[in-house]
């Protein structure tokens, strides 16, 4: 069905948007930070998607409307905003209902940056797994931006973040599971490890984590900056 990917985006957005007016979470009060954070955080990944289409993956025209911006279906562009909106809404729900504490993991988390850069170098040069290398590079850069902008206020230092990651993994399993099982997105077997969780390339988890991490970094930064003004 040509409208299936569009309907998927609508379903992803419908629940979080309708509950954005709930009194306890009142997510709509944060919209002035949500939309700039999503735009800034999604832009580099959309550029990546734009140039990767046809090399790392292709989109099945059976499930899209046929309205494209360059090589990308309109629904794919919407995906980079509907899913982050749902994730940020879920983050605020967690913040409203659960307490968090600061974890002494700064050195451990900081080691992930050279780890990501080293992984990117190894996968690109030794295996020619360029997609795998790019997701490791994106993860390292996302952490770097987080530490530069947030410092000690980094979400990676909060115990709540690690609870939230469990929900994030479920989101990836549902969203990317749907996209790859139909398949709306068809991956080439080149340039990646070909390790999967069900039908989902293993790299997609780190791609999604990097994307969401940098959006949450921008979102948190905008909230703290407004509170200081």
pLDDT for res 189: 87
> Which residues on neighbouring strands pair with residue 186, listed in sequence order?
58
Position 180 in a domain: yes
> Is 30 a member of any domain?
yes
CA 25: distance to chain centroid?
Answer: 22
Q: Quote the strand ranges of 33-165, DSSP E.
A: 57-59, 68-69, 72-73
Asked if the structure places residue 135 within a domain, the reply is no
DSSP state of 70: T
pLDDT reported for residue 227: 55
Residue 195 within a domain: no
Q: Is residue 12 in some structural domain?
A: yes
3-state SS assignment for residue 30 = helix
**Contact (CB, 8 A) for 135 and 176:** no
Find out whether 193 and 132 touch, Cβ atoms under 8 Å.
Answer: yes
Q: Provide the residue count of the chain.
A: 229
pLDDT at residue 128, as a whole number? 93
pLDDT of residue 108: 85
Supply the pLDDT for residue 204. 95
Which residue, chain included where needed, has tokens 């969401």? 212
Residue 228, pLDDT score: 57
Cβ neighbour number for residue 142 with a 10 Å cutoff: 24
Instruction: Please report whether residue 116 resides in a domain.
Output: no
Residue 57, domain extent: 4-101+142-186+207-228
Rounded to 5°, angle at Cα 53 from 51 and 58: 180
Structural domain includes residue 95: yes
The domain total for the chain is 1
- Spell out, as residue ranges, where the chain has pLDDT lower than 70: 226-229
């Amino acid at each position: 069905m040509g409208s299936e990917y569009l309907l998927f985006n609508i379903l992803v957005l419908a629940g979080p948007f309708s509950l954005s007016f709930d009194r306890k979470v009142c997510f709509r009060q944060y919209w002035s930070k949500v939309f700039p954070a999503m735009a800034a955080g999604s832009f580099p990944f959309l550029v990546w998607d734009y140039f990767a289409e046809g090399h790392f993956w292709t989109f099945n025209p059976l499930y899209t409307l046929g309205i494209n911006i360059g090589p990308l279906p309109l629904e794919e562009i919407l995906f980079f905003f509907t899913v982050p909106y749902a994730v940020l809404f879920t983050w605020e729900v967690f913040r409203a209902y659960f307490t968090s504490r600061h974890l002494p993991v700064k050195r451990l988390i900081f080691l992930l940056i050279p780890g990501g850069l080293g992984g990117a170098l190894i996968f690109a040069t030794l295996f020619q797994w360029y997609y795998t290398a790019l997701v490791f590079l994106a993860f390292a850069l996302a952490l770097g931006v987080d530490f530069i902008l947030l410092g000690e206020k980094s979400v990676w230092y909060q115990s709540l973040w690690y609870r939230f990651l469990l929900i994030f993994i479920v989101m990836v399993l549902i969203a990317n599971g749907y996209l790859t099982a139909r398949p709306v997105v068809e991956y080439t077997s080149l340039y990646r490890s070909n390790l999967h969780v069900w039908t989902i390339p293993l790299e997609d988890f780190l791609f999604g984590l990097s994307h969401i991490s940098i959006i949450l970094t921008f979102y948190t930064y905008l909230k703290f900056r407004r509170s200081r003004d």
